[in-house]
Structure 1
Amino acid sequence: MDPWASGHHLKFETAALTHPGHVRRFNEDSIFGDGERGVWVVADGMGGHRDGNLASAMITDAARDVGKAASLTELSFAFRRGIDAVNAELLSRSQGHPDRIVGSTVVALLTHDGNYCCLWAGDSRCYLVRDGRIEQLSHDHTEVQDLVDRGIISQEEAASWPRRNVVTRAVGAIDDFELEQATGVIKSGDRFVLCSDGLTGHVKDEEILAVSSRLSATQASHELLKLALARGGKDNISVVIVNVVDRGATTLVMR
């Protein structure tokens, strides 16, 4: 896969890593990146090692099948259509077994002609690092985030809330499924970080900011993974970094 693509003279330096962590025997995360088409994805499967891995792999396969688009709207529509098909297939597989839902979170970054679209369901995240600041473009679909949004608990209390990992929206979990989205204009120097909760469970936003700001995409992905593993690596860990640069080259790392 070519990590370089241009749109309005923008080029993307990208890198991606996934790791099972220290506790889980199997990796249910799947990652995908294609700078030529402007599609990057992190999916975190749920339902046991076989089923969870299947669900997340179906999502990255759907991303792989998205063709080149004439506009960001067309690219977004094609991606949504693929995810809707995965959702229907996963629901069909679990039909008659309501206690055995197989699903996956997903977060995707789509780019075209100097614009971006972030699409997500669940608690895998997309960050934008710009001008020395970090912004979480996605908004977690979790029970604990809902409690924070409603003012029932504080952000500090959320960090240790017993059900903080309970997801309220995921591919394969509900019939009335829809991806949430955030859009914007890309600037030279922007850095996007996509990750599963295996990373954010151990690494703070300000640390993601510091690491991604000073290192190349490849170096930053390795450093963030190293931090999460050093702090326990209790879950599968995935990180995809997309840097908007003017020149240079790197190799997309997929592990």
Structure 2
Amino acid sequence: MSKITITASSRVGCIRSNNEDMILVENKYVRSEACDLQFFTENKDRFIVALADGMGGHNAGEVASEETLRNLHFFIHDLPAHMSEGALCEAMVEWLVSINKIISSRGVADRKLQEMGTTLVGILYYEGNYFWMNCGDSRLYMLSDGKLKQITTDHSLNVMTGVKRHSNVITNCIGAGCTTSFLDFTEFTNDVKAGCTFLLCSDGLSDMVDDENIEKLLNEGKDANALCEAAITAGGFDNVSACVVAVAESH
């Protein structure tokens, strides 16, 4: 069993007029604010930490990110007990199909929400096992033994083509007219050890602060708010959100 310490921060940045990012930390939704909490896994059979980076005209992106995280929150807490890894994976894939239809249908029903969409990256703890999920180009990193590693693969044209001129062009998301949305969902329990730190972030952080400096900040023990501040200091061209999950031994 482990002690989990989480900090989360979501900021509008220097250019945008509204914040389309949102973070779900347990039962709290974080947008344009910061939060922190601490708990022991022996007291829980499940918890979810997830980050969504919304997109779309007007305020549609923030509608998509909030709708997705609220739906995910209730879905996770309504999961039956003692599901196998295969059954859990199947349930998550079915959930993605469902939420994609919900987001897309809201865009059809309301022209102001047309083509709205969101990315999603998250960590799920379920009955002693850890899983990560990803749809889009928001990222999950792991800091272990002082070294930073990106766990997720960006669903973007940059990765697909190997050419870095397609900045911010994603190939997979929830909504936004994407009819072939898919969810990377992987168990990684063996990677979650005392002393490890995990970072979920929107591209508002990873586009402004390179991996070397993210590694440096995490090794200095900086929290999510400090990471967001680093992105804003670097220009803050987009909304910026970060969630730092630190794992320690339970004494």
Give the counterpart of 1:169 among 151, 154, 172: 172
The answer to whether residue 38 in structure 2 is matched with residue 25 in structure 1 is no
Amino acid aligned to 1:204:
D
Cα distance change on mapping 1:15 and 1:71 into 2, 3 Å: farther
> Partner residue of 2:30?
none
1:223 is paired with a residue whose SS is helix
Of 42, 65, 70, the residue aligned with 2:82 is 70
Match of 1:190 among 196, 219, 225: 196
- Secondary structure of the structure 2 residue equivalent to 1:94: helix
Aligned-partner Cα distance in 2 for 1:72–1:135 = 28
Q: Cα RMSD over matched residues?
A: 2.3
Structure 2 unaligned spans of 5+: 27-38
- 1:44 & 1:103 partners in 2: Cα distance? 9
What secondary structure, in the 3-state scheme, does the structure 2 residue paired with 1:176 have? coil
CA distance in 1, matches of 2:49, 2:136: 16
Taking only the aligned residue pairs, the percentage that are identical comes to 31
Aligned equivalents of 2:145 and 2:89: distance in 1? 27
Residue 253 (structure 1) aligns with: none
Residue number in structure 2 paired with 1:130: 144
* Corresponding residue number in structure 2 for 1:13: 5
Separation in 1, partners of 2:204, 2:167? 13
Asked if 2 retains the 8 angstrom alpha-carbon contact of 1:189 and 1:245, the reply is yes
Query: C-alpha deviations, 1:199-241, integer Å up to 9, x for none?
Result: 00111112222222231xxx42122111101011010001011
- 2 CA distance for matches of 1:51 and 1:221? 25
CA-CA distance at 1:247 after TM superposition: 5.2
The structure where strand makes up a greater share of residues is 2
CA distance in 2, matches of 1:72, 1:194: 26
Distance of aligned partners of 1:112 and 1:213 in 2 relative to their CA distance in 1, 3 Å threshold: farther
The separation in 2 between residues aligned to 1:112 and 1:214, in whole angstroms, is: 30
* Distance in structure 1 (CA, Å) of the matches to 2:59 and 2:153: 28
Structure 1 residues 72 and 171: alpha-carbon distance in aligned structure 2, compared to 1, 3 A threshold: farther
**Given the two structures, how large is their TM-score scaled by the length of structure 1?**
0.80
Q: Which moved more, 1:75-84 or 1:172-181?
A: 75-84
- Of 20-29 and 82-91, more deviation after overlay is shown by 82-91
Q: How do 1:144-163 residues align onto structure 2 when only pairs under 5 Å count?
A: 144-148=158-162, 153=163, 158=164, 161=165, 163=166
Aligned length: 225
Work out the CA distance in 1 between the residues paired with 2:160 and 2:226: 31
Any unmatched runs of 5+ in structure 1? 1-8, 249-255
